[in-house]
Chains A and B, each alone.
Chain A
Amino acid sequence: MNTELFGVISIFIISIVLAIPIGKYIAKVYLGDKTLFDPIFNPIEKFIFKISGINSTEEMNWKQHLKALLSVNMAWFFLCFFVLLFQGSLFLNPDNNPNMTPDLAFNTAISFVVNCNLQHFSGETGLSYLSQMVLMFLQFVSAAVGMAAAAIVFNAMKERTTDKLGNFYNYFIKSCTRILLPLSAIVAVALLFSGTPMTFEEKDTITTLQGDSVQVSRGPAAVFIAIKHIGTNGGGFFGANSAHPLENPTYFTNAVELWAQLIIPFAMIFALGFYLKKRKLSYIIFGVMTIGFLLLVIPTVITELNGNPAIEKMGIAQTTGAMEGKEVRFGPAISGFWSIATTVISTGSVNSMHDSSMPMSGAMQLLAMMVNAFYGGCGVGWLNFYIFIILAVFISGLMVGRTPEFVGKKIEAREVKIAAFIAILHPLLILSGTALASYFAANDTAMGYWFNGNATDWLNNPGNHGFSEMLYEFTSSAANNGSGFEGLGDNNPFWNITTGIVLLLGRFLPIIGPLAIAGLLANKKYIPESAGTLKTDTPIFGVMVFAVIAIIAALSFFPALALGPLAEYFTLK
């Protein structure tokens, strides 16, 4: 048990320490300074831009940025949708897996375009190798879109008045080639030499030691799994995601995959400090996020180590903790830690089955996605936190009677309205979706086209836990997380289409909102700091932001949590 806890703590600390130099590097990339990879990628990028006729040096205002961002996303959606729809008859399909149904292809294409990777299928039987490679492409570019959006907000926070905020394509391609690609290549090679396959051969058929015949799925997994974590995507190559012994073969690969998903969200916060030369601000933000993270992760690890009280009563030894849905090579401590890392960050890859987690851990996983701003996904984590900062500046400005200002710009009605709308959107999407699904489940409605059978049949567990399954699915969609209480029967038109819509709204509005605020603020007159300015890089302001987050998350989600995991917790006691 001590070696387990030591593993958790050291992986966390190593990730933070490495995030500082990588953050410095990311700041250099977005500032346009020279980097190590320029000689390799500069000519390639020039070539790509020349052939496509895109000017990557023209400065854009925030509206032009949004236009470019949304149009590339549209192109990717259609590309992916059609490949999935016809994968059965296209090339690179050695296992002869079938075409996707239109509703599943719709959900999957959206889900990978928006960096969520909610998977209503199993990789072994649901995808061809071609589809896996197309989805991997989306894992790169969707992460880069989030990072480009964060870079635009960084740019807008500079101390000047302008509407020119850099070039979207430039930020986008640099995120891909200078940050995501090199890090992914390192992770892919580490996985490869630890036993993760990278082959285009079909399933293998073997006879086991005791004489059974078994088929073993393989595939080009190492590249996919690397970017799935570096880009905080989370979609598994195999059905069991990172619990699968080929996807995550050893304790070492588990540490590498954990590091890989933590590193960019950590580093982005430090990058902000280096980029704006406001390191203190980035330390305060990182501190608030870390406190939030620890408050979620500590109870989870303890709960999982203690095991299931209902099984305790049966009289067996639970020295190894709650092992349902967990792998022996990881154990409950790191599995619990992972389950919170993957939910605060919008990765959504799992190394244990969250549906079988203890109720208190389930509550923490849900809360992590409901807040969705402690570290958060590649780029978008910072955007979500930015909204909370704007709200905190406004509220504390009102409290002390000073004009609300953030980094030298006045926050006025328009910005606050946008921020409030984005903050309310998240609970609105989650709770209305869950209410709709629960209404059908409570009445056991016959669902017709939408679901083959009655609504309660999509639940894998009865009672409060069943409610948690539906709540989790919508929370995961709205937070663009992608993990699930996977017992839920979600591959049907009802879940594919409703969560597909939630995914779209939960991705693009929280990008548009912060970009609009940042663009509007950048255009305002810069006011140098004076004695009357409310300082935002102080611990007191950090406490204020934390309070705003806690109030918004706690007030809007407490009733739902009480009906699901908290009620289950008290029945298990």
Chain B
Amino acid sequence: MKNIFSIIKFTLLTVILFAVIYPLAIYAIAQFAPNQGKGETISVNGKVVGYQKIGQKFDKSNYFWGRPSAVDYNASGSAGSNKGPSNADYLALVQKRIDTFLIVHPYLEKSEIPSDMVMASGSGLDPNISPEGALIQVKRVAKERKLSEDKVKTLVESKINTPTIMGTSTVNVLELNIALDELK
């Protein structure tokens, strides 16, 4: 009996150390982190339009689009599709995405579409696309916005993050679209 009380007391004290004091200490440090550890947001004209790290849905034709999402960019229910590589339904879905993409971008060859634009992300909230994925949309966006293709292309190129030593090349879709809105 004495033993049981010892262990209960020991458990509660360690809970206080690891699950109360330690998180509070980190929480205190968080007050000095970007946006006090509440997640970095991006504002346009003083209004929050999104979280910098979290992808959002773009399906209007005057914006650059992000990757397919298994959860339709629901930022309170992240998930991937979990479809297996040989699943026939899944392969048909990818084929459909390719076909749709070609209808909206009639100027494209099939072989110009990078795989990230037709395959769903792991989180369903991927904020990035590959540089190729952005560049192939330039013509459509420029036409919709009545801007010169060169101007839009220069904008995309300025938004490409190329790794210096390690990593992948990315384009943050939200940041690109905000810059696009500012383009006159």
Binding site for B on A (CB under 8 A): 3-4, 6-7, 10, 44, 48-49, 51-54, 71-72, 75-76, 79, 122, 124-125, 133-134, 136-137, 140-141, 169, 173, 176, 181, 184-185, 188-189, 192-193, 195, 197-201, 203-204, 206-210, 212, 214-218, 220, 222-223, 238-240, 243-246, 249, 251, 255, 307-308, 310-311, 314-331, 350-353, 355-359, 460-465, 468, 485-487, 568, 571-572
Q: Is B9 interfacial (CB 8 A cutoff)?
A: yes
Q: Are A327 and B83 in contact (CB under 8 A)?
A: no
Q: Give the CA-CA distance A358 to B91 in the complex, in Å.
A: 13
Q: Are A243 and B121 in contact (CB under 8 A)?
A: yes
Q: Give the CA-CA distance A494 to B160 in the complex, in Å.
A: 48
A-B contact pairs, 9 of them (CB 8 A): A203-B76, A204-B38, A310-B86, A316-B114, A321-B115, A325-B122, A327-B121, A327-B126, A359-B86
From A197, A328, A568, B168 is in contact (CB under 8 Å) with A328
Known contacts A125-B76, A206-B48, A208-B49; A487 and B82 CB within 8 A of each other: yes
A310-B86, A572-B85 known; 8 new pairs, CB 8 Å cut-off, are: A133-B23, A140-B18, A195-B53, A198-B37, A324-B90, A325-B119, A328-B168, A329-B128
Q: Are B53 and A249 in contact (CB under 8 A)?
A: yes
- CB contacts (< 8 Å) of B50 on chain A: these are 206, 208-209
Give the most central of A350, A355, A486: most B CB within 10 Å.
Answer: A355
- CB contacts (< 8 Å) of B44 on chain A: these are 209
Q: Give the CA-CA distance A75 to B80 in the complex, in Å.
A: 35
Q: Is B98 interfacial (CB 8 A cutoff)?
A: yes
From A54, A133, A465, B84 is in contact (CB under 8 Å) with A465
Known contacts A206-B49, A251-B166; A181 and B86 CB within 8 A of each other: no
- CB contacts (< 8 Å) of A359 on chain B: these are 85-86
Q: Of all chain A residues, which has the CB nearest B177?
A: A209
Known contacts A308-B85, A317-B115; A137 and B14 CB within 8 A of each other: yes
Q: Of B56-64, B141-149, B151-159, which binds chain A?
A: B56-64
Q: Are A319 and B120 in contact (CB under 8 A)?
A: no
- CB contacts (< 8 Å) of A212 on chain B: these are 56-57
Q: Give the CA-CA distance A44 to B16 in the complex, in Å.
A: 12
Q: Give the CA-CA distance A206 to B81 in the complex, in Å.
A: 25
Q: Give the CA-CA distance A255 to B5 in the complex, in Å.
A: 43
Q: Is B95 interfacial (CB 8 A cutoff)?
A: yes
Q: Of all chain A residues, which has the CB nearest B11?
A: A75
Q: Of all chain A residues, which has the CB nearest B40?
A: A195
Cβ proximity bits B34-78 to A, threshold 8 Å, 1 near / 0 not: 101111110010011111111111111001000100000111111
Q: Give the CA-CA distance A222 to B168 in the complex, in Å.
A: 24
- CB contacts (< 8 Å) of B166 on chain A: these are 3-4, 6-7, 10, 251, 255
- CB contacts (< 8 Å) of A244 on chain B: these are 78, 123, 125
A363 nearest CB across to chain B (Å): 12
Q: Give the CA-CA distance A327 to B126 in the complex, in Å.
A: 6
Q: Are A323 and B54 in contact (CB under 8 A)?
A: no
Give the most central of A220, A468, A571: most B CB within 10 Å.
Answer: A220
From A193, A216, A245, A322, B85 is in contact (CB under 8 Å) with A322
Q: Are B39 and A195 in contact (CB under 8 A)?
A: yes
Q: Are B111 and A353 in contact (CB under 8 A)?
A: no
Q: Are A320 and B130 in contact (CB under 8 A)?
A: yes
Give the most central of A209, A321, A463: most B CB within 10 Å.
Answer: A209
Q: Are A316 and B111 in contact (CB under 8 A)?
A: yes
Q: Of all chain A residues, which has the CB nearest B122?
A: A243
Q: Is B183 interfacial (CB 8 A cutoff)?
A: no
Q: Give the CA-CA distance A6 to B52 in the complex, in Å.
A: 27
Q: Are B23 and A314 in contact (CB under 8 A)?
A: no
Q: Is B150 interfacial (CB 8 A cutoff)?
A: no
From A204, A318, A323, A568, B86 is in contact (CB under 8 Å) with A568
Q: Is B17 interfacial (CB 8 A cutoff)?
A: yes
Q: Give the CA-CA distance A5 to B34 in the complex, in Å.
A: 30
Known contacts A218-B38, A325-B80; A465 and B115 CB within 8 A of each other: no
Q: Of all chain A residues, which has the CB nearest B180?
A: A209
Q: Are A210 and B29 in contact (CB under 8 A)?
A: no
- CB contacts (< 8 Å) of B121 on chain A: these are 243, 323, 325-328
B101 nearest CB across to chain A (Å): 9
Q: Give the CA-CA distance A251 to B168 in the complex, in Å.
A: 8
Q: Give the CA-CA distance A357 to B88 in the complex, in Å.
A: 15
Q: Give the CA-CA distance A321 to B168 in the complex, in Å.
A: 12
Q: Are B23 and A223 in contact (CB under 8 A)?
A: yes
Give the most central of A4, A203, A315, A353: most B CB within 10 Å.
Answer: A353
Q: Give the CA-CA distance A460 to B19 in the complex, in Å.
A: 36
Q: Give the CA-CA distance A548 to B76 in the complex, in Å.
A: 47
Q: Give the CA-CA distance A48 to B95 in the complex, in Å.
A: 62
Q: Are A326 and B122 in contact (CB under 8 A)?
A: yes
- CB contacts (< 8 Å) of B38 on chain A: these are 197, 199, 201, 204, 218
Q: Are A54 and B126 in contact (CB under 8 A)?
A: no
Q: Give the CA-CA distance A48 to B128 in the complex, in Å.
A: 48
- CB contacts (< 8 Å) of A72 on chain B: these are 7, 10-11
- CB contacts (< 8 Å) of A206 on chain B: these are 41, 48-51
Q: Are A199 and B116 in contact (CB under 8 A)?
A: no
Q: Are A209 and B49 in contact (CB under 8 A)?
A: yes
Q: Are B168 and A4 in contact (CB under 8 A)?
A: yes
Q: Give the CA-CA distance A568 to B81 in the complex, in Å.
A: 19
Q: Are B10 and A322 in contact (CB under 8 A)?
A: no
Interface residues in B10-26 by Cβ distance below 8 A to A read: 10-11, 13-15, 17-20, 22-23, 25-26
- CB contacts (< 8 Å) of A243 on chain B: these are 78, 80, 121-123
From B8, B18, B36, B73, A176 is in contact (CB under 8 Å) with B18
A288 nearest CB across to chain B (Å): 28
Known contacts A208-B57, A356-B80; A4 and B167 CB within 8 A of each other: yes
Q: Give the CA-CA distance A243 to B79 in the complex, in Å.
A: 9
- CB contacts (< 8 Å) of A322 on chain B: these are 85, 115, 119
Q: Give the CA-CA distance A209 to B182 in the complex, in Å.
A: 12
Q: Are A240 and B79 in contact (CB under 8 A)?
A: yes
Q: Are A327 and B56 in contact (CB under 8 A)?
A: no
- CB contacts (< 8 Å) of A76 on chain B: these are 11
Q: Are B14 and A141 in contact (CB under 8 A)?
A: yes
Q: Give the CA-CA distance A214 to B78 in the complex, in Å.
A: 12
A319 nearest CB across to chain B (Å): 6
Q: Are A328 and B27 in contact (CB under 8 A)?
A: no
Known contacts A48-B13, A195-B40, A210-B58; A317 and B113 CB within 8 A of each other: yes
Q: Give the CA-CA distance A4 to B162 in the complex, in Å.
A: 11
The 5 closest A-B pairs by CB, nearest first: A7-B166, A487-B82, A243-B122, A465-B84, A353-B80
Known contacts A4-B168, A315-B111; A209 and B98 CB within 8 A of each other: no
